[in-house]
């Protein structure tokens, strides 16, 4: 197994359609990687220090395929001090496995302890400066720019700005990238009563590093819950197509965290991403970032 001091072989640039890797199907993915999947995503917290059979399977995957990391617990907007030990461990993990891209949620997950949910950051000027300063510290420690994901949220305490203005301001002040979650735009547009297309068109498109698409749960006519536990619905697919029309084709990954079907069925949804990408132009639009 590689150590952090060793240099892994270079991976192809990030492009195409991806899938979140889960332990429930890692053995199948290792033995017969679906041809539809161009890259894989993992949460580093779920794999740092993992040994044994799963550690060997994961190492065999990262040696052969392009990976990105999507963090769960950095708590970039949280009131607690930044967990610099976690940042150092993530850097070691990224370096060991030759993973260039690391993203996190524009939210927070800790206070005195782990909250086990994505809590909304107040949309205020003060929060913009606070979050941006923490992002810059993380980027300095990692030696790379990170991408922040626009998150789903169900309340907006202390709101002084629109969500779109808050996101764009953080990206600009931190000089970081955007992980564009298309499903979260759809979910938030229903839960908070705004136009999803207008929101999408107002993003800072040149900062998009890659995208997410996922399914959700319909709790009520005016309430959607971002579960990643269902198939992607047609309005979200259409919003993805509109994103490609606005910003060009960018790498896009299917998230599925619950009610996980067989890998073959997931590969079919990934293949639908690839089909849409082919209809809208070259699949390597964001490769220039690498």
Q: What is the pLDDT of residue 221?
A: 86
For 14, 61, 90, 147, the CA distances from 100, given in Å and listed in that order, are 9, 15, 11, 11
For residues 155 and 121, the answer to whether their CB atoms sit within 8 Å is no
pLDDT band at 8; cut points 50, 70, 90: low
* Range 226-249 average pLDDT: 93
pLDDT at residue 159 is higher than 60: yes
Q: Average of pLDDT values for 101-130?
A: 83
For the residues 235-248, what does the mean pLDDT come to? 97
pLDDT over threshold 90, residue 290: no
So what's the pLDDT on residue 116? 56
pLDDT digits (tens, 9 = 90+) for 61-111: 999 999 999 999 899 998 889 999 999 999 999 999 999 999 999 987 756
Give the 3-state secondary structure percentages of the chain, helix then strand then coil, rounded to 5. 40, 15, 40
Instruction: Give the mean pLDDT of 179-189.
Output: 96
- pLDDT at 109 (0 to 100): 79
Report how far residue 28's alpha carbon sits from residue 44's, in angstroms, rounded to the nearest whole number. Answer: 21
Domains of the chain: 17-289 (3.20.20.150)
């Amino acid at each position: 197994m590689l150590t952090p001091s060793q240099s892994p072989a270079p991976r192809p640039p990030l492009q195409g359609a991806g899938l979140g890797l889960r332990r429930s199907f890692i053995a199948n993915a290792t033995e017969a990687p679906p041809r539809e999947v161009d890259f894989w995503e993992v949460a580093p917290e779920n794999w740092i220090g993992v040994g044994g059979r799963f550690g060997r399977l994961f190492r065999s995957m990262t040696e052969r395929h392009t990976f990105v990391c999507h963090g769960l617990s950095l708590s970039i907007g949280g009131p607690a001090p930044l967990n610099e030990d976690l940042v150092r461990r993530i850097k070691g993990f990224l370096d060991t496995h030759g993973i260039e891209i690391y993203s996190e949620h524009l939210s927070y997950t800790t206070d005195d302890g782990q909250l086990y949910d994505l809590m909304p950051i107040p949309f205020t000027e003060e929060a913009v400066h606070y979050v941006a300063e923490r992002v810059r510290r993380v980027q300095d420690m990692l030696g790379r720019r990170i991408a922040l994901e626009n998150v789903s949220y169900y309340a907006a305490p202390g709101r002084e700005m629109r969500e779109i203005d808050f996101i764009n301001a953080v990206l600009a002040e931190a000089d970081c990238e955007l992980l564009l979650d298309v499903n979260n735009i759809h979910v938030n547009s229903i839960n908070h009563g705004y136009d999803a297309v207008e929101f999408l068109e107002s993003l800072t498109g040149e900062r998009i590093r890659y995208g997410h698409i996922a399914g959700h749960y319909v709790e009520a006519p005016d309430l959607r819950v971002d579960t990643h536990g269902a198939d992607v619905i047609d309005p979200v697919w259409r919003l993805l197509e509109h994103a490609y029309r606005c910003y060009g084709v960018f790498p896009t990954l299917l998230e599925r965290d619950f009610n996980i079907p067989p890998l073959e069925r997931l590969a079919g949804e990934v293949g639908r991403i690839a089909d849409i990408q082919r209809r809208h132009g070259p699949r390597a639009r964001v490769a220039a970032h690498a």
